[in-house]
Amino acid sequence: MGVKLGILGLGTVGTGTVQLLQDKVGRHPLLQEIEIYRVGVRSLNKPRAVELPTEVLSTDLEAIVNDPAVDIVVEVMGGLEPARSLILKALSNGKHVVTANKAAIARFGAEIFTTANKAGVYVMLEAAVGGGIPVIQPLKQSLSVNRIHTVTGIVNGTTNYILTRMQTEGSNFGDVLADAQRLGYAEADPTADVDGLDAADKIAILASLGFGGRINLQDVYSEGIRQVSKTDIVYAEKLGFVIKLLAIAKRVTLSSPLSVRVHPTLVPKTHPLASINGVYNAILVEGEPIGQVMFFGPGAGAGATASAVSSDILNLVAALKSNTAVPNPLLTCGHQEYCQIAPMTELVTRFYARFLTKDQPGVIGKLGTCFGNHGVSLESIVQTGFQEELAEIVVVTHDVREGEFREALAEIRNLEAIDSIPSLLRVL
Ligand code: NAP
Ligand code: HSE
């Protein structure tokens, strides 16, 4: 007997998944066991890129998760509700769930995994982070014996696509965002991409897997790319950096709190993540004894996510076929405790700052004095340009505690010669 799927959603990810599952030649033979039994959508009248028998499409998603014939529910509709309730219902009904919904997992992971564990079923989420890149299973299985130190990722395809085109073509932010939406990379509401919230959801999931604890999403600092200007991209380039939206989870010692954050970052051109361009994502995992491992691939789009969703489905088909009563501990979620997250003031990092100042003698000296008063040591300070009659001064610091750097900035803001501080970015 075939394994029956109830797919919730037939948008970019759902359509890609159905296309892959309908075209089985040359792929894994277990795909033959899968039947697309029901597909839930909002509208039955919308033109679709895939052909499905009329009885398969339905607008009653509740009926799909309650249908005793459905073995696996594939949630690719997105959003928080009704996705959360439908996932919980499916799990309570004893169905395995595959989801691409990082927003729901990052917010409701605790109740979703608790419900799954109680029901003895699995929740699979490979497509939720990194699109087509296998990173969830490797963190859960292949790398699980390592002590993880850092997970650093470019995990949002839309913002990487925008930053790459701003850098290579000098393109305008709004035009490139419209292209990312047309290509199916951006979320329905692109605010989540542009403001770093999508990347925050993803790093919360990766940190949870890497460091073996739950992450409270509210503790994850996130800053998006709206404030990244062409001017900063050009300065970064001159200083030997590219600007990337990085999602970082780091643990300095086994007993220290985690640092989990998303922000635009100056990345040295020689760093492996500096050359990840366009919609591509990459996740660099550092641990002991493995050292560095980097996962790279397409981070969004129909084909990429279909690969990840279908591989999760295949894992579940294999589990259903092997018919073991005991859940595989490498597939379930085994942690219940929350990780402690350090406040941003405790972060130790380098900074890039751009100042607009009056063109007066001694301004650079005054800046240096304020930084020195707070123990901020400067790696470089350059004055290369003017904006109208104001001088533009760019500073890169050595490693400094963020709290101390902010105190120095507060003092600098009070200097009579300072007009404004248009940019403040962290440096990897
Ligand atoms: P999408 O193109 O907007 O498709 C959403 C689908 O779900 C549509 O078919 C829609 O029905 C259906 N749907 C939504 N709300 C519904 C409701 N209340 N009742 C019934 N049907 C509903 O979204 P997507 O880009 O495929 O993304 C789906 C999920 O995958 C999201 O969680 C997203 O974050 C995640 N994801 C996306 C990508 C990507 O590259 N796009 C990559 C990784 C993960 P209609 O077709 O009738 O409107
Ligand atoms: N909107 C997301 C991105 C889709 O641009 O990365 C993949 O999760």
pLDDT tens per residue, range 40-63? 999 999 999 999 999 999 999 999
Is the bond preceding 82 in cis, omega lying within 30 degrees of 0?
Answer: yes
pLDDT at 243: 98
Counting the structural domains of the chain, the total is: 3
Strand-pair partners of 400: 349
Pick out the chain residues at pLDDT < 70.
1, 325
73 in any annotated domain: yes
Assess whether 190 and 287 both reside in one domain.
yes
DSSP letter at 128 equals: G
The closest ligand to the CA of 125 turns out to be 1
Q: Is the CB of 193 under 6 A from ligand 2?
A: yes
**pLDDT for position 1:** 65
State whether 9 and 100 are in the same domain: yes
CATH of the domain at 84: 3.40.50.720
The two tokens of residue 328 are 């595989």
pLDDT of residue 327: 80
Two tokens, residue 49: 């890129």
CA of 20 to the centre of ligand 1 (A): 17
CA of 228 to the centre of ligand 2 (A): 19
Q: Is 301 in the pocket of ligand 1 (CB under 6 A)?
A: yes
226-250 tens-digit pLDDT? 989 989 999 999 999 999 999 999 9
Indicate the DSSP class of residue 251.
Answer: -
Q: Supply the residue whose CA is at minimum distance from atom 36 of ligand 1.
A: 100
Specify whether 156 is located in the same domain as 243: yes
Structure tokens at 74: 């594939």
Instruction: Decide: residue 57, CB within 10 A, 0-12 exposed, 13-18 middle, 19+ buried.
Output: middle
- Write the CATH number for 356: 3.30.70.260
What is the pTM for the complete model shown?
A: 0.95
- Which stretches does DSSP call E strand in 144-238? 147-154, 221-222
Q: What are phi and psi of 418, to 5 degrees?
A: -85, 125
- Chain-centroid distance of CA 342 in Å reads 20
**Distance of alpha carbon 356 from alpha carbon 371, whole angstroms:** 16
| E strand map for 346-401 | 348-357, 378-387, 390-397, 400-401
Range of the domain at 198: 136-298
Check residue 388 and give its pLDDT. 78
Cβ of 357 less than 6 Å from ligand 1? no
CATH number of the CATH domain containing 209: 3.30.360.10
Same domain, 273 and 201: yes
CA of 49 to the centre of ligand 2 (A): 21
Q: What pLDDT sits at residue 421?
A: 96
Q: Does 17 share its domain with 120?
A: yes
